[in-house]
Amino acid sequence: MSRETTIPLSDPDLTATEVRAVEAALQGTRLCGGEQVERFEEAFAASVGRAQAVAVSHANLGLQMILRAHGIGKGDEVVCSAHSFKETAHAIAAVGATPVFSEIDYWSGTLDATKIEPRLTPRTKAILAANTNGHPAPWAPLEALALEHDLLLLEDSTEAIGSRYQGRPVGSFGHSSVFDFSHPAAITCGEGAMVATDDELFAAKLRRLRGRRSDERSSVVAGAIPPVGAGMSDIAAALGLAQLGRLDQILLNRRIVERLFFKHIKSFEGIKDPYMAPEADEVHWMLYVVHMGTRFTRSSRDAIVEDLRTSGVEAAAYCHPLHTQRFYVDHGHRRGELPVTEKVADRAVALPLHKNISEEQIAFIVSTMKDASINVGAGAAIY
């Protein structure tokens, strides 16, 4: 394969159906806050088994709105994971609350429910659990823990759609859930997100916080809550609605690529393919994240990622844990406080996952990683 060939990390699954939907939206009389947004909200709520869905411009803003609507802010604490690609947990700090990072499960990468209780204090108001890279969090023990300690449970599903846990789809857990529609999500509107909940009064509060409708601009009541201006355009909603209608096919296309990756990766003893916990019914990965063996260091992982990029393959370190990033270090966090999170993150490589990858390209990606592992002196590391 030519070294000039570029294999992108993400490539949206778009067809003529999406093009027609966007063209129709452009021909409408409203490009913002109109019928397309309402239709997308209704269809999305039904797809994840929720009563209500509220479209917003960005997942981080969506979570900020949830926290603000619950009165969570300065002096409050929210337990969350430091292991994230989209870093939605930044919203906790953005509203003035304190993120309390808790350990993850080594295999699934999601919050370890058994490690949360020691992190709880009288200031803890909520637990934010993520379906990391598409793998469902352990929702049964998380729900029991939240109920026992009278805590708000929130679902970060920015990296997951279509996955299922004990008979329920991701997005249906906790009081509210937030989805993301930017790259590299399966549903990609360019930008945009969705908050889903069963609490109709709460959904109405979120809509007021999102921004006033055109027919409310003279209303004194609507001005009781300063809006954040986080609406979704009808163009993005039309695109999202069309993709939602094709979601089963989009996920099937990605599943075919997953199986091809596994076919080639299983011959490489230095890589652990993505893990699926027995309590998860179905997992749809956001990216094909593999874990290098324990003989690899963080620097050798980075060298392999760079070799892939040099060879025309867009790859990335899946996660730089939040507690090791400058903002949180300045607030007292240090490397070493979450050893499992750090061990997993140091060796995780996010590989491209989309329908436009051929088996030849997948074989090239894996062979390039094999060669790179020898170049960094790790050889065929074995777990």
Written as one string, the DSSP assignment of 94-119 is HTT-EEEEE-B-TTT-SB-GGGSGGG
Give the Cα separation of 159 and 100 in Å (integer): 20
Of the chain, the end-to-end C-alpha distance in Å amounts to: 30
Does an H or E element contain 309, and which? helix 298-310
By C-alpha distance, which of 250, 240, 248 is closest to 41? 240
Q: Backbone phi, then psi, for 371, in 5-degree steps?
A: -65, -40
- Residue 1 confidence (pLDDT): 45
Question: What is the pLDDT tens value at each position of the chain, 383 positions in all?
Answer: 445 558 999 999 999 999 999 999 998 877 777 899 999 999 999 999 999 999 999 999 999 999 999 999 999 999 999 998 878 889 999 999 999 999 999 999 999 999 999 999 999 999 999 999 999 999 999 999 999 999 999 999 999 999 999 999 999 999 999 999 998 999 999 889 999 999 999 999 999 999 866 555 555 555 567 788 899 999 999 999 999 999 999 999 999 999 999 999 988 877 888 999 999 999 999 999 999 888 889 999 999 999 999 999 999 999 999 999 999 999 999 999 999 999 999 999 999 999 999 999 999 999 999 999 888 766 554 43
- 70: phi > 0 → left, psi -120 to 50 → alpha, else beta; which? alpha
- Residue 381 confidence (pLDDT): 43
- Residue 34 confidence (pLDDT): 80
- Residue 376 confidence (pLDDT): 78
Task: Give me the residue spans of the domains in the chain.
Answer: 16-245, 254-375
Give the Cα separation of 92 and 82 in Å (integer): 12
Mapped onto helix, strand or coil, the DSSP state of residue 293 is: coil
Tell me how far CA of residue 362 lies from CA of 22, 258, 269, 288, in angstroms: 32, 10, 17, 11
Is residue 159 exposed (0-12), middle (13-18) or buried (19+ Cβ within 10 Å)? buried
Provide the residue type at 279 as one letter: E
Tell how far CA 123 is from the center of its chain.
26
- Residue 4 confidence (pLDDT): 55
Q: What is the DSSP letter of 14?
A: -
pTM of the model: 0.93
- Residue 378 confidence (pLDDT): 60
Helices (H), 104-232: 139-148, 200-210
Q: Backbone phi, then psi, for 158, in 5-degree steps?
A: -65, -20
Does an H or E element contain 79, and which? strand 77-81
Q: Taking a C-beta distance cutoff of 8 angstroms, is the pair 234, 25 a contact?
A: yes
Written as one string, the DSSP assignment of 325-344 is SHHHHTTT--TTS-HHHHHH
Is residue 367 exposed (0-12), middle (13-18) or buried (19+ Cβ within 10 Å)? middle
Angle (CA) 152-153-154 rounded to 5° is 115
Q: Taking a C-beta distance cutoff of 8 angstroms, is the pair 376, 370 a contact?
A: no
Provide the residue type at 44 as one letter: F
CATH number for the segment(s) 16-245:
3.40.640.10
Which two three-digit tokens encode residue 41? 């909200």
Q: Backbone phi, then psi, for 334, in 5-degree steps?
A: -140, 150
Tell how far CA 139 is from the center of its chain.
16
Angle (CA) 91-205-185 rounded to 5° is 45
Q: Taking a C-beta distance cutoff of 8 angstroms, is the pair 274, 289 a contact?
A: yes
Return the CA Rg of the chain: 21
Q: Domain 254-375: which CATH class?
A: alpha beta
Q: Taking a C-beta distance cutoff of 8 angstroms, is the pair 73, 66 a contact?
A: no
Residues with Cβ within 8 Å of residue 52, at least 6 apart in sequence: 41, 45, 196, 197, 198, 199, 200, 202, 203
